Chains A and B, each alone.
Chain A
């Protein structure tokens, strides 16, 4: 028994070491070398900067009825989350006159694309149905109206929480987009 364990230890060690070596060798090509770095570099270079952003109030769509509390909650949550990112010195609200004095102002517009109001009770009882979702097109534009970034972002509440929580989820995703691009 003792002799067996004496022989088995180097054997196990050899197997483990060779496995580790193979894993290491396999991972090497995936690591970006000096030639692979440019993939990340342009993203860094493309980061935008602006001292202030103005959030326009959530627009209304003719063919899409979004309740007013959802529109307001979306607008207010986006402002709260943008302030938390600390990417801008000032986050202006729609209609704020002070924004006119900022030379490098960015204007964010929120255009609802889809909306489905679920039910909290249905969600909690069935688990699989009753989700609330909202999909909004978010555009970032210069003062002259030139759009330089546009994304469709959705907010959802699937299991627990009230319907308006979908707007919080949406705002968190908007903040992620801002963090990635500014």
Chain B
């Protein structure tokens, strides 16, 4: 019967503290590299040039977030927003929400910014990076536009839907809906919130 014993490096035996420090440092660098790759892979294209509506519909963009107010669709769901002849349509893989042009009372647009690495996974990655490296990743963000649509249902009940679109798209969608006959009240758009430098 053969037996094998693990070979322990004499360096580890002589200086176990240094070995642990090196291991932690290596692991930290590894997590940082993974996080940077994660950021590079999932950062939206909008940071470069504006996203052109895709050719799947006449005027549709995929990867839009419906923050709230899309009927039976869960808040913060991602899907495709389109301007169809009847109005605005937001579709996910499970459900579709329609807002008819005639029911729209008002439309607002606004600028915001979103973190490149966010959500539960992103937060966990940021927290896992030692020496506060996660905070460096928090500096990466991209501009987005928020489209807020106010409309009424068939009983006269007031609804509001909030969509997060790539930069420059919300205004284009607002213009398309107005061209279709959607009502828009005259209101002063608040100045774009400047991102405060930490």
Chain A residues with a Cβ under 8 A of chain B: 57, 65, 67-69, 71-73, 75-77, 80, 92-98, 117, 119-122, 124-126, 129-130, 160, 162-164
Contacts and interface: CB of A to CB of B under 8 A. Distances in A.
Interface residues of B, number: 36
Nearest to B68: A76
Interface stretch (B18-26, B79-87, B109-117): B109-117
A141 to B, nearest CB: 18
Contacts of A71: 160
B156 A121 contact: no
Given A96-B157, A121-B141, 15 more contacts: A65-B190, A67-B190, A69-B108, A69-B110, A98-B155, A119-B193, A120-B114, A120-B141, A121-B139, A124-B134, A125-B138, A125-B139, A160-B123, A162-B118, A164-B68
B193 A72 contact: no
B157 A72 contact: no
B167 interface: no
Given A69-B110, A93-B153, A77 B68 contact: yes
Contact of A67 (B110, B113, B115): B110
Given A95-B152, A121-B115, A72 B69 contact: yes
A27 to B, nearest CB: 40
Nearest to A119: B196
A4 to B, nearest CB: 39
B198 A126 contact: yes
Contacts of A129: 198
A73 B158 contact: no
Contact of A95 (B67, B157, B160, B162): B157
B138 A72 contact: no
A96 B155 contact: yes
Interface in B164-183: none
Task: Name, among A92, A93, A124, the residue most crowded by chain B CB atoms within 10 Å (CB to CB).
Answer: A124
B68 A121 contact: no
A124 to B, nearest CB: 4
Task: Name, among A92, A98, A117, A120, the residue most crowded by chain B CB atoms within 10 Å (CB to CB).
Answer: A120
A37 to B, nearest CB: 42
A125 B141 CA distance: 12
B68 A73 contact: yes
Contacts of B138: 121, 124-125
Contacts of B75: 80
B115 A93 contact: no
A69 B196 CA distance: 20
A172 to B, nearest CB: 13
Contact of A72 (B123, B148, B155): B148
A173 B37 CA distance: 39
B196 A122 contact: yes
Given A121-B115, A121-B139, A68 B156 contact: no
B155 A57 contact: no
B162 A72 contact: yes
B115 A119 contact: no
B196 A124 contact: no
A124 B156 contact: no
Nearest to B69: A76
A97 B156 contact: yes
Contacts of A162: 114, 118
A119 B195 contact: yes
A92 B68 CA distance: 17
B150 A72 contact: yes
Contacts of B108: 68-69
